[in-house]
């Protein structure tokens, strides 16, 4: 536990928050991921592994594998003071998963990283999830959250404002943009009756449908009414839009 | 092999994962942190610089004593020569004790405060380690290095003096012990301060207290000479706030060869000799400083 809570209590893996034993089963990448920069990457991950209670012999095998996995195989014996931010983040991820945690906490792991770094974070999250771990991702980069997470919670001042199941939300109603010419009045009537929020701008028509299962019927109708359909593009409401809708334009976070 | 051990060995072949570990033992943590503290001093060149300073100091002292003796051999007898070397050694040890105290305060003031400020502590304090073991490990690491440093600097000074005259100063073992305690007192204060304050502030606290004790010692000596009770009391008070100067004055007293009477007021003679009780107090003080460091760090939000 880094900070004493102002109130309340909680359980982590069945143990009270702050219990020492349960910390052996979690991994944590802090927001500023700073480490002893006079150690080499291998020495640092080994050090953190020893802090988890792992044996030296086990770490001698595991650390090279881990560093290889995060793309630092060639830099294992270089001192961290020579590392770029992206490389530091990779070391950070390695130390966070050295003990094969059941829960992995990542605090802003992608901020300030290039696309390769962000992809690595997403890959690690997916791998951890696939091995059965739970990943807690704290991030302002909603694009990354959208790609990586199954459930999302918006928090303001320590309170959960809203929670979403990503699958359910993405399988729900969606906006569709259709590029179409020669839209007949019958087609328009059908659209008005079977979709919502129809907006026409030149050759682009924006509609909202209840689910993507309605799309084939809509396209068939348009084609049968003589329209020339160039593209049908589902436009999911981005998580960012959802965030701004839920939290307001200036949540003052 | 028992069933459990067998199952574990199989499990480690299949998946070398976390086998329900609950973190390292307290001793492992302490030793791990102590080793890493030592490694930090080596890799960040602190140790090299400190050792070079000590060697430079010893070289200067050695050459100085040698030159002085060469000069004296023509004019003065063996007894005076030995007294002169004893005097010079005491001066050197006085300077050496200051150097050691400075090292103790300045190398350790950054340790916890720097890690807290940079956020390095976050990935460490969230591991299954006891916070007190982190502090204690650092103390052991620094105390170990300071012990070697005292042996090098103060021990080296004594050895050089012995080498030049064939006669060793009295109570050198006790002298080194007292200066070792002095270093640990400074270390304790610096460490305790660094759990709460920035590196600079922690260093300033430790050295400020050192300065306070220094001045207090002089005031006490003056009070003894001039029979001013208030001054003596002020001096005692300052020794209670920071016993570093009291420890030096006892060292100086114990190093005095029997024939060298108190040559008036000065740092190399003690009119008021700190008692054994004061030495005990200093040891307890150093221990309390560590306990304070542990307590403060335990409660601190990171």
Mean pLDDT of chain A: 88
Residues of A with Cβ-Cβ distance to B299 under 8 angstroms:
4
- Res. A29 pLDDT band, cuts 50 70 90: very high
A100 touches chain B (CB under 8 A): yes
A62 interfacial to chain B (CB closer than 8 Å): yes
Do A51 and B36 count as a contact with CB atoms less than 8 A apart?
no
Nearest CA in chain B to A94: B123
d(C-alpha A181, C-alpha A204), whole Å: 8
At A134 the three-state DSSP class reads strand
Q: Is some CB atom of chain A closer than 8 A to the CB atom of B14?
A: no
Best B8, B13, B23, B125 member to test A by mutation, with max A CBs in 10 Å, is: B23
Of B29, B126, B299, the CB nearest to A2: B126
Q: So what's the pLDDT on residue A244?
A: 82
Structure tokens at B288: 């309390």
Of A151-165, B26-40, B101-115, B285-299, give the lowest mean pLDDT range: A151-165
In the prediction, which pLDDT does A251 show? 60
3-state helix/strand/coil string of chain B: CCHHHHHHHHHHHHCCCCCCCCCCCHHHHHHHHHHHHHHHHHHCCHHHHHHHHHHHHHHHHHHHHHHHHHHHHHHCCHHHHHHHHHHHHHHHHHHHHHHHHHHHHHHHCCHHHHHHHHCHHHHHHCCCCCHHHHHHHHHHHHHHHHHHHHHHHHHHHHHHHHHHHCCCCCCHHHHHHHHHHHHHHHHHHHHHHHCCCCHHHHHHHHHHHHHHHHHHHHHHHHHHHHCCHHHHHHHHHHHHHCCHHHHHHHHHHHHCCCCCCCCCCCCCCCCCCCCHHHHHHHHHHHHHHHHHHHHHHHHCCC
What tokens does B249 get? 């004055």
Element at A47 (helix H, strand E) = helix A41-51
Containing domain of residue B36, as a range?
22-299
pTM: 0.84
Domain count, chain B: 1
Question: If pLDDT is split at 50, 70 and 90, which confidence band does B271 have?
Answer: low
Does B46 fall in a domain?
A: yes
Mean pLDDT of A223-244: 85
- B7 in a structural domain: no
| Touching A: B residues 75-94, CB under 8 Å | none
Q: Would you say residue B1 has pLDDT above 50? A: no
Report the pLDDT averaged over residues B179-183. Answer: 97
Nearest C-alpha neighbor of B150 from the set B190, B181, B121:
B181
Residue in A50, A108, A131 to test binding to B, most B beta-carbons within 10 Å: A50
Bigger pLDDT: B18 vs A114: A114
Q: Is pLDDT of A239 > 90? A: no
Q: Name chain B contacts of A56, Cβ cutoff 8 Å.
A: none
Q: How confident is the model at residue B9 (pLDDT cuts 50, 70, 90)?
A: very low
Residues 119-138 of B with CB under 8 A from A: 119-120, 122-130
CA distance B94 to chain A (A): 34
Note whether B123 contacts A52, CB cutoff 8 Å. Answer: no
Whether B228 has its CB under 8 Å from any CB of chain A: the answer is: no
- The model's pLDDT over A164-200, given as tens digits with 9 standing for 90+, comes to 887 766 666 788 899 999 888 888 888 888 887 888 8
Hey, are the CB atoms on B18 and A25 less than 8 Å from each other? yes
Other C-beta atoms closer than 10 Å to the C-beta of B214 total 19
Residues of chain B in contact with residue A52, where contact means CB-CB under 8 angstroms, are 18, 21, 23-24, 127-128
Residues of B in contact with A54 (CB under 8 A): 18, 21
What ipTM was assigned to the predicted interfaces of this complex?
0.84
Q: Specify the pLDDT at position A119.
A: 92
Beta strands in A149-227 (DSSP E): 151-156, 159-165, 174-181, 196-201, 204-209
- Place B152 in a pLDDT band, splitting at 50, 70 and 90: very high
Judged by CB atoms closer than 8 Å, whether chains meet at B122 and A28 is answered as yes
**CATH class given for the domain over A172-239:** alpha beta
- Give the phi and the psi of residue B210 in degrees, each rounded to 5: -60, -45
pLDDT of residue B269: 52
Q: Is residue B157 part of a domain?
A: yes
Q: How confident is the model at residue B3 (pLDDT cuts 50, 70, 90)?
A: very low
Query: Is A54 within 8 Å of chain B by CB?
Result: yes
pLDDT tens-digit series, residues B233-254: 999 999 999 999 999 999 998 8
In angstroms, the separation between the Cα of residue B183 and the nearest Cα of chain A is 26
Query: Is residue A135 very low, low, confident or very high in pLDDT (cuts 50, 70, 90)?
Result: very high
Report the gap between the CA of B8 and the closest CA in chain A (Å). Answer: 13
Q: Residue A23 is nearest to which of B118, B119, B126, comparing CB atoms?
A: B126
Q: Which residues of A touch B32 (CB under 8 A)?
A: 47, 50-51
Q: Do domains A11-149 and A172-239 have the same CATH topology?
A: no
Q: Which residues of A touch B44 (CB under 8 A)?
A: 38
- Name residues whose C-beta falls within 8 Å of residue B121's C-beta, 6 or more positions apart in sequence: B112, B115, B302
B13 lies within 8 A of chain A by CB: no
- Helix (H) / strand (E) element for A194: namely helix A185-194
pLDDT digits (tens, 9 = 90+) for B189-211: 999 999 999 999 999 999 999 99
- pLDDT tens, residue by residue, A71-88: 999 999 999 999 998 899
| Residue with more model confidence, B284 or A205 | B284
Whether B114 and chain A come into contact, CB under 8 Å, resolves to no
Assigned CATH topology for domain A11-149: Rossmann fold (3.40.50)
Q: What is the mean pLDDT of residues B40-48?
A: 92
Q: Is the pLDDT of residue A58 over 60?
A: yes
B29 CB neighbours in chain A (<8 A) are 51
B-chain residues near A32 (CB < 8 A): 118-119, 122
Whether B264 is covered by a domain: the verdict is yes
Provide, as residue numbers in chain A, all residues whose Cβ is less than 8 Å from the Cβ of B124.
48, 51
- Nearest-Cα distance to chain B for A91, in Å, is 12
Beta-bridge partner residues of A159: A156
The confidence band for B186, taking pLDDT boundaries of 50, 70 and 90, is very high
Binned at pLDDT 50, 70 and 90, residue B178 comes out as: very high
């Amino acid at each position: 536990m880094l900070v004493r809570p102002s109130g309340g209590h909680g359980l982590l893996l069945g143990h009270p928050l702050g219990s020492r034993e349960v910390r052996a089963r979690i991994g944590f990448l802090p927001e500023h991921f700073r480490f002893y920069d006079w150690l080499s990457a291998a020495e640092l991950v080994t050090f953190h592994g020893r802090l988890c209670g792992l044996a030296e012999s086990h770490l001698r095998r595991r650390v090279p594998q881990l560093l290889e996995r995060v793309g630092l195989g060639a830099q294992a014996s270089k001192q961290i003071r020579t590392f770029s931010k992206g490389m530091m983040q990779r070391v950070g991820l390695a130390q966070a998963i050295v003990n094969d945690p059941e829960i992995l906490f990542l605090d802003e792991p992608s901020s300030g990283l290039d696309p390769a770094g962000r992809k690595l974070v997403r890959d690690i999250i997916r791998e951890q999830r696939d091995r059965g771990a739970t990943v807690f991702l704290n991030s302002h980069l909603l694009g990354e959250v959208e790609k990586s997470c199954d459930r999302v919670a918006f928090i303001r001042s320590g309170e959960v404002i809203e929670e979403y199941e990503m699958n359910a939300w993405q399988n729900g109603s969606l906006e569709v943009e259709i590029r179409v010419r020669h839209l007949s009045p019958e087609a328009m009537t059908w659209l008005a009756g079977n979709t919502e929020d129809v907006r026409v701008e030149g050759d682009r028509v924006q509609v909202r449908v209840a689910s993507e299962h309605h799309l084939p019927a809509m396209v068939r109708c348009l084609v049968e009414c003589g329209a020339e359909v160039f593209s049908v593009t589902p436009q999911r409401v981005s998580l960012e839009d959802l965030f701004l809708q839920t939290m307001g334009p200036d949540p003052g976070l | 092999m028992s069933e459990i051990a067998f199952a574990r060995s199989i499990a480690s072949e299949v998946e070398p994962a976390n086998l329900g570990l609950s973190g390292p033992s307290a001793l492992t943590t302490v030793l791990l942190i102590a080793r890493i503290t030592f490694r930090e001093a080596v890799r960040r060149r602190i140790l090299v610089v400190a050792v070079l300073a000590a060697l430079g100091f010893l070289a200067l002292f050695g050459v100085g004593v040698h030159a002085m003796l060469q000069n004296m051999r023509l004019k003065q007898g063996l007894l005076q020569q030995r007294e002169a070397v004893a005097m010079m050694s005491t001066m050197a040890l006085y300077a050496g004790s200051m150097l050691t105290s400075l090292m103790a305060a300045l190398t350790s003031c950054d340790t916890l405060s720097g890690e807290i400020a940079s956020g390095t502590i976050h990935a460490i304090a969230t591991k299954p380690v006891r916070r007190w073991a982190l502090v204690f490990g650092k103390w052991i690491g620094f105390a170990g290095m300071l012990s070697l440093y005292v042996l090098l600097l103060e021990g080296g000074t004594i050895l050089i003096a012995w080498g030049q005259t064939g006669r060793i100063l009295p109570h050198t073992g006790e002298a080194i012990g007292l200066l070792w305690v002095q270093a640990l007192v400074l270390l304790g204060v610096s460490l305790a301060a660094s759990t709460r304050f920035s590196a600079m502030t922690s260093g300033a606290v430790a050295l400020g207290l050192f300065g306070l004790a220094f001045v207090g010692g002089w005031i006490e000596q003056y009070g003894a000479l001039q029979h001013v009770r208030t001054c003596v009391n002020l001096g005692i008070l300052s020794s209670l706030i920071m016993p570093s100067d009291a420890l030096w004055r006892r060292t100086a007293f114990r190093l005095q060869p029997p024939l060298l009477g108190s040559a008036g007021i000065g740092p190399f003679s003690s009119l008021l000799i700190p008692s054994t009780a004061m030495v005990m107090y200093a040891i307890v003080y150093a221990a309390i400083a560590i306990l304070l460091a542990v307590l403060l760090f335990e409660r601190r939000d990171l």
